[in-house]
Amino acid sequence: MTTETALVEKYGETLFALDAPERNRLTLLGEVFDPLSTATLTRLGVGRSARCLEVGAGTGSIARWLASQVPGGEVVATDLNEALLARLTGPNLVPLRHDVTVDPFPESSFDVIHARFVLSHLPGRLDVLRRMSSWLRPGGFLMFESFSWFPIDSSPHPAYRHAMQRWSELILSTIGTDSRWSRALPTVLAEYGLADVGAETFTRHMRGGGPLAEFWWQTLRMSRRQLIDGGYLTTQQVLDVQRLLRDPGFWDLAPAVTQAWGRR
């Protein structure tokens, strides 16, 4: 699917703009998904003196964790957002304002490159991925994580299914975010000549009112105005899905998370 025509804005300009609710949402994102990310990074093996790159670090929970794993190394944590970077301090943590779609790094400069919930938001993501691969040292690995939308398609809850599908259409037409692309990730990594390519997709049940459902509640809340003004959902449809996501009687699959990795 091409997502590069007639985009309205870049990530963070209006949608996902950094205000207090967005900061809370990113914090929740870390609380919910860090265990999954750190388990796979640990399994792939982060050397104690590795030089790491965390792209689109957000609140920096993974960058801080990586820094704790590399006492003899360093973690460069990038983001577009200066306010997020300002909080990223630590002895072997280097915050850097860097737009991964255009700004360079020298070839072969990192042992570990990680990006979570970043690539699918970027138009031109294939080019970004190719450039990121070139920043890896021989023997180094990269790992990407992205949401994958397929559990939504089979949801037995029409209000949830419809609202999530419409939300993904909103971010696709506005920013270019492709919520379905991650399924192709291992194929792309193999085509780019990476070795030891692997991938895993995690589907999680969520209960209304639980942390994962709350993350999606906050996500829909954040986009409420654009969803309604853009004709994607009615006010009632937004209220209905929000009620569901906070109803302890609601159980359903959340969007899946795909992790994919490869070694240079």
Ligand X SMILES: C[S@@+](CC[C@H](N)C(=O)[O-])C[C@H]1O[C@@H](n2cnc3c(N)ncnc32)[C@H](O)[C@@H]1O
Residues that bind ligand X (CB under 6 A): 11-12, 26, 29-30, 55-58, 78-81, 84, 99-101, 116-118, 121-122
Q: Which residues pair with 115 in a beta bridge?
A: 55, 144
Q: Report, in Å, the least distance between residue 142 CB and ligand X.
A: 14
Amino acid identity, position 119: L
For the chain, list the strands marked E by DSSP.
Answer: 51-55, 74-79, 93-97, 110-116, 136-148, 195-202, 205-207, 251-253, 256-263
Q: What's the closest the beta carbon of residue 235 comes to ligand X, in angstroms?
A: 26
Judged by CB, which is closer to ligand X: 222, or 241? 222
Residues, the chain, total? 264
Residues facing 116 on adjacent strands: 145
- In angstroms, give the least distance from the CB of 164 to ligand X: 16
The residue (of 121 and 166) whose beta carbon lies closer to ligand X is 121
Of 18 and 190, which has the nearer Cβ to ligand X?
Answer: 18
Q: Which is nearer to ligand X, 134 or 237 (CB)?
A: 134
Tokens for 47?
């050397």
Distances (CA, A) of 233 to 220, 226, 228, 229, 238: 11, 9, 5, 8, 7
Task: Name the minimum Å distance from CB 157 to ligand X.
Answer: 24
Return the residue nearest ligand X (CB atom): 58
- C-beta closer to ligand X: residue 179 or 242: 179
CB of 127 to ligand X, least distance (A): 12
